[in-house]
Amino acid sequence: MDLYEYQARELLEEQGIPTPRAVYAGSVEHVADAAETIGFPLVVKGQAKIGHRGQAGAVKLAADLDDAVAMARDIMPMTIHGHRVNGVLLAEAKNVLHEYYVSISVDRSSRDFDVLATANGGTEVEEIAREHPESVRRLHIDALEDFDLEAATQMAESIGFYHADVDQAARILLKMWRCFKDNDATLVEINPLAKVGDPDDEDSKELVALDAKISLDDNAAFRHDGWARFRDPVVADALEREAKDNGLHYVHLDGEVGVIGNGAGLVMSSLDAVAYAGEDQGSGVKAANFLDIGGGASASVMAKSLELVLRDPKVESVLINVYGGITSCQTVAEGVLEAVAALGVDKPIVIRFDGNAAAEGLATLEKASLDNIHVARTMEDAASLAAQYAADAIAANAASAARREEDEQ
């Protein structure tokens, strides 16, 4: 799971890594209060799980309240390289003197941890590596050896931190390592790790994290309470509330395949089947959410369910896995077709039925011969198809984003 910058900063702060004061605002209405708490000037930063926000115009310096509100209004509806902006962070603006880059990540091939660092921070590390390859240092932390202040100091020196910054850099490196380990992260990146302050006042200068990117290892979620505190607050809360109001049970996850089923057991197996298919196909696609429709699967329940599941902007395909009991799969099939027509759904939907009137239901769907409706006979086949469609859509989105970028240049 990738975190938003404001969430990643929280984890850095928990380890005592200095970060400028900042307040998250999930909607434009909350911007004024948040901005007053921080004071001016401040930086308005669009929260999207992607880098290059600065270049995309989603990081702006605001001189006063009017500025901050106007900028938030511009940034909030943005989509950056296919990633929706989900709120803004209002952060104390700092006078930046220099930008470093530091990251810690898992190195699967050498089974240890990579520290990547350069004194030329700011832009994305891929670009830095292209333009100043000699400045990028790759070092390693061995999980079995102690990484202590002495080791961190040696590392800070060899990374190319300027002399005056070495001690503070070493302490930050050590804290980044603790952040990485304590949170079962696969990536902790600070870019820029900035030297800020008044150029004429030595005492005012310090290193602070101006931006943070953290990815957590999904396999360790059980050790961290399922990372409930990092749920996508805007999308998740609204959808979960609306589902509840309609007698449905919706749970927001972090992947790309929407999952609709009846009964907790069937829905859980569907999630696993999707994750397995994504891993097997090498795309890493996972369930974006799940919606348990419970006993009733009428046309109106199906319409509401599809609408809710598709409203998560990350959903690229939907898997419907229904066991027909009292409700026949034939009824569910009719509900699916009505819902797809009413909502004008064009994303791929894969359906698998079992139980009461399963064959009739699937035949009804096949007869409708809609381009985006696909049927499968087993749960594994259905999950595999749904994962494949989602991966295809992600690849197509990335290709069209790359073309748009080329056009703009």
Contact residues for Mn ion, defined by CB under 5 A: 191, 211
120 is in an annotated binding site: no
- Residue closer to ligand GDP (CB basis): 121 or 255: 121
CA dihedral (122, 128, 134, 138) positive or negative: positive
DSSP for 139-152, written as a single string: EEE-TTS---HHHH
User: Which of Mn ion, ligand GDP, none binds 96 (CB below 5-8 Å, type-dependent)?
Assistant: ligand GDP
First-to-last CA distance in the chain? 32
HEC profile for 44-57?
A: EEECCCCCCCCCCC
Stretch that binds ligand GDP, among 65-73, 89-97, 292-300, 307-315 (CB under 6 A): 89-97
**Amino acid (one-letter) located at 209:** A
- Residue closer to Mn ion (CB basis): 30 or 52: 52
Which x/- pattern, by CB under 6 A, does the window 164-203 give for ligand GDP?
A: ---------------------------xx-----------
The reply to whether 249 sits near ligand GDP by the rule CB under 6 A is no
For residue 172, the minimal CB distance to ligand GDP (Å) is 16
262 is in an annotated binding site: yes
For residue 135, the minimal CB distance to ligand GDP (Å) is 16
Which residue among 165, 189, 211, 292 contacts ligand GDP (CB under 6 A)?
A: 211
Q: Taking the C-alpha atoms of 22, 23, 26 and 32 in order, what is their torsion angle to the nearest 10 degrees?
A: -110
Rounded distance between C-alpha atoms, residue 231 and residue 288, angstroms: 12
Tokens of 252: 């927001």
**Are the beta carbons of 254 and 315 closer than 8 angstroms?**
no
Rounded distance between C-alpha atoms, residue 135 and residue 311, angstroms: 44
The reply to whether 51 sits near ligand GDP by the rule CB under 6 A is yes
CA dihedral (245, 248, 249, 250) positive or negative: negative
User: Which of Mn ion, ligand GDP, none binds 41 (CB below 5-8 Å, type-dependent)?
Assistant: none
The reply to whether 96 sits near ligand GDP by the rule CB under 6 A is yes
Hey, which residues are catalytic here? 101, 189
Residues that contact ligand GDP, how many (by CB under 6 A): 16
- Residue closer to ligand GDP (CB basis): 186 or 191: 191
Rg, C-alpha atoms of the chain: 24
- Residue closer to Mn ion (CB basis): 191 or 330: 191
Which residue among 210, 235, 358, 373 contacts ligand GDP (CB under 6 A)?
A: 210
**Are the beta carbons of 172 and 82 closer than 8 angstroms?**
no
Rounded distance between C-alpha atoms, residue 285 and residue 270, angstroms: 13
The reply to whether 82 sits near ligand GDP by the rule CB under 6 A is no
Q: What length is written for the chain?
A: 409
Tokens of 297: 């699967």
Which x/- pattern, by CB under 6 A, does the window 121-160 give for ligand GDP?
A: -x--------------------------------------
Tokens of 136: 């990028």
User: Which of ligand GDP, Mn ion, none binds 53 (CB below 5-8 Å, type-dependent)?
Assistant: ligand GDP
For residue 43, the minimal CB distance to ligand GDP (Å) is 4
For residue 281, which of 395, 186, 374 has the smallest C-alpha distance? 395
211 is in an annotated binding site: yes
Stretch that binds ligand GDP, among 49-57, 277-285, 336-344, 365-373 (CB under 6 A): 49-57
HEC profile for 65-92?
A: HHHHHHHHHHHCCCEECCEECCCEEEEE
User: Which of ligand GDP, Mn ion, none binds 368 (CB below 5-8 Å, type-dependent)?
Assistant: none
**Amino acid (one-letter) located at 150:** E
**Are the beta carbons of 53 and 208 closer than 8 angstroms?**
no
Which x/- pattern, by CB under 6 A, does the window 284-323 give for ligand GDP?
A: ----------------------------------------
The reply to whether 93 sits near ligand GDP by the rule CB under 6 A is yes
138 burial type by CB count under 10 A (0-12 exposed, 13-18 middle, 19+ buried): exposed
**Are the beta carbons of 308 and 262 closer than 8 angstroms?**
no
Question: What is the contact surface with ligand GDP in residues (CB under 6 A)?
Answer: 43, 45, 51-54, 59, 93-94, 96, 99, 122, 191-192, 210-211
Provide the annotated binding site: 45, 94, 99, 191, 211, 262, 325-327
Provide the annotated binding site for substrate: 262, 325-327
Provide the annotated binding site for Mg(2+): 191, 211
